[in-house]
Structure 1
Amino acid sequence: MSFSFSDFAAALRNGHRITPEDVLAVRRAVWPDGRVSDAEAGIVFDLNRAVGEPSPEWRDFFIEALTDYVVNQKAPRGYVDEANAAWLIAEVDRDGEPVSRLEVELVVKVIERALNCPASLRSWALAQIEEAVVRGARTVDADECRLLRRLVFAPGGEGALVVGQDEADLLWRLKDACLRSDNAPEWKTLFVQAVGNHLMAWSSYKPLERDEAARLEAFVNDHSSSVAGFFARMRGANPFAEAKKVLDEEKDVDHAARLAEAEEVTPDEQGWLDRKVEADGARDPYEEALLAFVAAEKR
């Protein structure tokens, strides 16, 4: 007997608690061929809205299936464009209810898995965490610390592994909002490391642009061309000259000098830091820890 998504969704809405066997049945119905179709991705989101309390098995399936759909099933594999990012945000926000932590975890996993994705997706996820903290107990718990760390240091996209000013501003707002709360111990560590990274870090990593990745994927998947034609194209492209050009350009980049320059707090960065610290006329323990970290790193 085939699996009925509509019957299962109705059972969930009537209070049925999802079981490991239910998740296995959905997995077999959605993912029999290792691919999730557009319609099936929408069905998974609909089922998630009907699930009252997600089980560990459902959480794993929801994140795994939809991450694979968003990151790997739209050409080129591994790249999330603006349209796919907008679709993901619209699906998560569709019911008008506050975004759940599971939905935020999905977006974080997509950002982590992608080779490159729009900055708007990361900004959206960070804003959801900030909103949840501010409208809730104004406490940064261990799970929120984990999600924040994964987001601000996610490898995909421009500025990978380097914390931008918008992200540092958000972390500072969270610090102020939760200053007198019983936060997770790792929150202070994350705040100091992330804002310190914003002030003193530099990365040379630049992900391959999506259009370039699409051309490369098309070339690799071109099984119609002959071997002779392949080498003819290679001769026309003169790969050795191109490689030498890249290597010569790399020689011109003094990475050690760039790194040393980044470790120096610029006047603009110092001004930003001073304004943040002096905004309320008193230094709190988080600011003291940050200033000590920056002073130690400058030695």
Structure 2
Amino acid sequence: MVRSASIIQRIQAVSRRSREDMRQVAQEMCSRGPQSDAEAQALFDFNARMRGADPDWDSRFVRVMARYVLARDAANGALTPANLDWLQERVAIGDRLRNRNLAGLFMRLLRKASGTPDGFGLIVLSHLCDQMILDNQADATSVGNVAETLLLSGPEHAPWVSRAEAAILFHTQESIEGSENDPSWNFLFARAIGNHLVARAHPNPHTERHALNRKHWLDPNDPNPGKFVGCLALGFDKGSWFEQMGREAERASLARRTASLAAKSKPAQPPPRTGWWRKSPPPNPVTTASNTLVDFLNREAPGLLAGLVVAAR
């Protein structure tokens, strides 16, 4: 306890000195890991004062703090609800994280924890996408983190991209449209939203858990994830397709007929690339990510987009 107090006092003593002095003391604590909540708080406080890029510090901080959180109060490698609450009280202001490297901490917890509270993957996804919005772009590293989070999330009984996850991705896309985003964002957005829409429009997605598993759809090495779905699109006129998209049974019926006709015909021209998921036209031209989504749906599930346009009105 004396040593713990000594290190905390040293951090407090150098708080008004140079960044390098502070960093040296904090790294000493990182080398052995915090031994108490007080030491962990001292590291959080130091991290909050860090400004600018420092990959070495980020890596050390994320590694030791994840280890501490997963061992705190005899957690034995799991992220307990109590420890998640404890962490969020110290690193978040409302729904926003205090520092960008804290998203990396949440990512490491998702990777390393033997168990996590329900909805933790959604929390991580929200933090990562918030950071992309703040950066006003989706760079390759950020997109990779979002993809990994989606792959690590999702319950076994419903392995497709959920409505809540899709809402976060849509909000992110609308916030960064027009930015110089990495091409991998277009791929991920189209695959993830396509997976969600097929599952949501399907009359009984639980019978197609393997075909609709997000792992197939988000696999960058698979050029045609729709092959897992097989001939689903040929049965739009069978079953209650599109009924989960809205409350009006008549509209769902019309959507089924429209989708069935579109799936069995070859349009003379490709369908217009519009923001069909919106109730009103978008203020800006549709972006590459949206174009990629439309192309993906037309290729992997012919007719589905035509039905979605009707069902979403």
TMscore range, shorter length: 0.5 to 0.7
The alpha-carbon distance between structure 1 residues 260 and 9, as it changes in their structure 2 partners (threshold 3 A), is same
The alpha-carbon distance between structure 1 residues 187 and 165, as it changes in their structure 2 partners (threshold 3 A), is same
Contact 1:78/1:115 (8 A) holds in 2: yes
Which of 230, 234, 259 is equivalent to 2:210?
A: 259
* Residue 149 (structure 2) aligns with: 151
Contact 1:79/1:117 (8 A) holds in 2: yes
Contact 2:166/2:192 (8 A) holds in 1: yes
- 1:197-216 equivalent positions in 2, closer than 5 A: 197-200=195-198
Contact 2:160/2:195 (8 A) holds in 1: yes
**CA positional deviation for 1:66:** 1.4
The alpha-carbon distance between structure 1 residues 70 and 142, as it changes in their structure 2 partners (threshold 3 A), is same
Contact 2:159/2:209 (8 A) holds in 1: no
The alpha-carbon distance between structure 1 residues 85 and 128, as it changes in their structure 2 partners (threshold 3 A), is same
The alpha-carbon distance between structure 1 residues 161 and 114, as it changes in their structure 2 partners (threshold 3 A), is farther
Opposite residue 50 of structure 2, the aligned amino acid is V
Shifted more, 113-122 versus 157-166: the winner is 157-166
* Residue 112 (structure 2) aligns with: 113
Contact 1:154/1:160 (8 A) holds in 2: no
TM-score (structure 2 length as normaliser): 0.62
* Residue 140 (structure 2) aligns with: 142
* Residue 193 (structure 2) aligns with: 195
The alpha-carbon distance between structure 1 residues 291 and 132, as it changes in their structure 2 partners (threshold 3 A), is same
The alpha-carbon distance between structure 1 residues 260 and 84, as it changes in their structure 2 partners (threshold 3 A), is same
- Pairwise CA RMSD of aligned residues? 3.9
Residues 234-254 of structure 1, C-alpha deviation per residue, up to 9 Å, x if partnerless? xxxxxxxxxxxxxxxxxxxxx
The alpha-carbon distance between structure 1 residues 269 and 176, as it changes in their structure 2 partners (threshold 3 A), is farther
Opposite residue 59 of structure 1, the aligned amino acid is D
CA distance in 1, matches of 2:106, 2:126: 12
Gaps of 5+ in 2: 201-205, 214-228, 234-240, 247-251, 253-273, 303-313
* Residue 124 (structure 1) aligns with: 123
Contact 1:13/1:51 (8 A) holds in 2: no
The alpha-carbon distance between structure 1 residues 167 and 30, as it changes in their structure 2 partners (threshold 3 A), is same
Residues 103-123 of structure 1, C-alpha deviation per residue, up to 9 Å, x if partnerless? 111112112222332244333
Opposite residue 64 of structure 1, the aligned amino acid is R
CA distance in 2, matches of 1:115, 1:157: 15
Check if 1:17 corresponds to 2:39.
no
- 1:153-232 equivalent positions in 2, closer than 5 A: 153-155=151-153, 162-200=160-198
* Residue 260 (structure 2) aligns with: none
CA distance in 1, matches of 2:115, 2:63: 18
Contact 2:163/2:196 (8 A) holds in 1: yes
Residues 87-106 of structure 1, C-alpha deviation per residue, up to 9 Å, x if partnerless? 11111026998621101111
**CA positional deviation for 1:165:** 1.0
RCO (CA 8 Å, sep 6+): is it higher in 1 or 2? 1
TM-score (structure 1 length as normaliser): 0.64
Contact 2:7/2:29 (8 A) holds in 1: no
Shifted more, 163-172 versus 70-79: the winner is 70-79
Contact 1:17/1:51 (8 A) holds in 2: no
Gaps of 5+ in 1: 203-254
The alpha-carbon distance between structure 1 residues 84 and 293, as it changes in their structure 2 partners (threshold 3 A), is same
CA distance in 2, matches of 1:197, 1:179: 21
CA distance in 2, matches of 1:14, 1:51: 13
Opposite residue 299 of structure 2, the aligned amino acid is A
CA distance in 2, matches of 1:108, 1:62: 13
Contact 1:67/1:109 (8 A) holds in 2: yes
Contact 2:26/2:43 (8 A) holds in 1: no
Opposite residue 115 of structure 1, the aligned amino acid is S
Check if 1:287 corresponds to 2:287.
no
**CA positional deviation for 1:179:** 1.5
How many residues matched? 242
- 1:40-119 equivalent positions in 2, closer than 5 A: 40-53=39-52, 55-93=54-92, 99-119=98-118
CA distance in 1, matches of 2:211, 2:94: 49
Contact 1:9/1:47 (8 A) holds in 2: no
**SS of match in other structure, 1:4:** helix
**SS of match in other structure, 2:161:** coil
Contact 1:80/1:114 (8 A) holds in 2: yes
Amino-acid identity (%)? 23
Opposite residue 26 of structure 1, the aligned amino acid is M
